[in-house]
Chain A
């Protein structure tokens, strides 16, 4: 084993110095929490009160809790229909923005800017639009158009509550995907389209044989990102329904929120977060490997 030169050692120590501030925060608020979370999940743990080791009791209690499984179903279903919707609408918008049109900047603002707005302002506005009053905007328009016989309480039946939540979520977050897709589309070499045009390929043919294949990596990345996002669904339900009616719109994070922070059963909540981890593990690992791959490709 070769001996490190003292000067070399000092130089390397200096290099660590650049990393140290961020690394210290990373260890405190990312690495340590993972260990704390593991320990907590085996305890009956409240913030101020007692701490009792109870083995796997938390995990068993959650497993046998019907409300937990209802949250699993709710959240999975939401991911199942919201993710494809966001992706389809996102592709459509990206294609629109790639056309030769006037006022492109303002169209970009109109379709994309929402994704950078905070949840509360957006969600309270939508809640107001879907107010149960006859003069609520959604009720008024639907009755006028003959879609509804009389005004309804949108958040009081599971179906309409989920429908509104999905609509609002697509409206709110699609902009991020649009920007991702637009970036991918703009990286396609124009010659590809010119060659296809010479071969007489129509717009649909060109979309499926050029645009879509070039977007493949970005799309795959975005699907994974959005599934993880869907499993973090909270703000919408906190503002719209508080999980009601009868827990039909309660999501996994909402379940964790109620357990850990309203009932202060933090050990149980830690165990819930491990269940969430396992549920999205495939997607989390995919995200990890995709990022690792793309980071490596730039390493040279």
Chain B
């Protein structure tokens, strides 16, 4: 009896020690994360300050002395040569169209390259892989010329098309499809199922997580894309959010495009991606692991 209580006391003490260690470690890490994430909080805090106050206040304050939504109102009402409401709409349209078009092209291609046998498949696949030796920078100048030749300069289509040609989605989807059992087709062919039906009814439901991951990553890439839209867009009405925001680089104290409205715009650009991360980080992590190295 006595021995049991002694040992259970030891167990309890050990558990308490572990608990204390866990709490201490958590507090230390939490403090570090608060410092590490400070720029994001600073962005939000500045977006709630009147611009003049944000520029001159000394010491700088994290909690705004006179919080206001003026900056958000101003960027949505601005009649300057930057049109934020329009940019928000453009970014959303380009993002959603790119996602839809990527899924419609990459999923069947991934299917063909993983589960269909035909002459030339190996060659095509080899070329798809071989292109990985070329840095993305190689394609800027010629694609600019090609888009110009297609008379697509300064259009939203110019933002969608080149992205669709990337092979990331094809590889990602293929990785999942290759892993499905081989006898899946045998049963389907006997039932007289066509390839399209087989893809839509059987394969797609089985690899749905990968398709979701591809959709998420495509949307984020499109939403954040900067250099290419900067090159091909010109008219303020065609700009996406990052390009429109880069036009705010005029002077911190400018009442319409100064730091207050700029941080409001930055926060609006960031908010959807933060939300996506909070909701779906598990999917993003899996997509990164598999899309990068082909390992599950």
Contacts and interface: CB of A to CB of B under 8 A. Distances in A.
Interface in B135-188: 135-146, 148, 161-162, 164-167, 170-171, 174-175, 178-179
A239 interface: yes
A128 to B, nearest CB: 6
B266 A300 contact: no
Interface stretch (B4-12, B22-30, B75-83, B205-213): B22-30
Interface string A1-33: 000000000001011101101110110111111
A294 B296 CA distance: 11
B80 to A, nearest CB: 17
A105 B281 CA distance: 9
A277 interface: yes
A14 B143 contact: no
Given A23-B124, A232-B135, A298-B178, A33 B270 contact: no
A15 B116 contact: yes
A77 interface: no
A87 interface: no
A119 B57 contact: no
Given A22-B170, A109-B277, A218-B293, A12 B118 contact: yes
Interface in A283-300: 284-285, 287-288, 290-292, 294-295, 297-300
B295 interface: yes
A277 B145 contact: no
Given A47-B145, A260-B140, A119 B281 contact: no
B243 to A, nearest CB: 8
B17 interface: no
A47 B234 CA distance: 16
A21 B109 contact: yes
A108 B281 contact: yes
A25 B249 CA distance: 35
A15 B195 contact: yes
Given A101-B22, A128-B263, 18 more contacts: A15-B195, A16-B120, A18-B112, A22-B106, A33-B146, A101-B25, A120-B226, A120-B269, A121-B266, A122-B270, A124-B263, A137-B60, A183-B288, A225-B292, A270-B142, A277-B135, A295-B294, A300-B178
Query: 9 nearest interchain CB pairs?
Result: A118-B224, A121-B266, A33-B142, A22-B109, A294-B294, A110-B33, A29-B165, A183-B289, A36-B142
Interface of B: 22-23, 25-26, 29-30, 33-34, 36-37, 39-40, 42-43, 46, 55-60, 104-106, 108-109, 111-113, 116-121, 124, 127-146, 148, 161-162, 164-167, 170-171, 174-175, 178-179, 195, 199, 220, 223-227, 231, 241-242, 245-246, 248-249, 252, 259, 262-263, 265-267, 269-270, 273-274, 276-278, 281, 284-286, 288-289, 292-295
Interface of A: 12, 14-16, 18-19, 21-23, 25-26, 28-34, 36-37, 40, 47, 96, 99-103, 105-114, 116-122, 124-126, 128-129, 131, 133-137, 140, 171, 176, 179-180, 182-184, 187, 217-218, 221, 225, 228, 231-232, 234-235, 238-239, 252-253, 256-257, 260-261, 266, 269-270, 273-274, 276-277, 280-281, 284-285, 287-288, 290-292, 294-295, 297-300
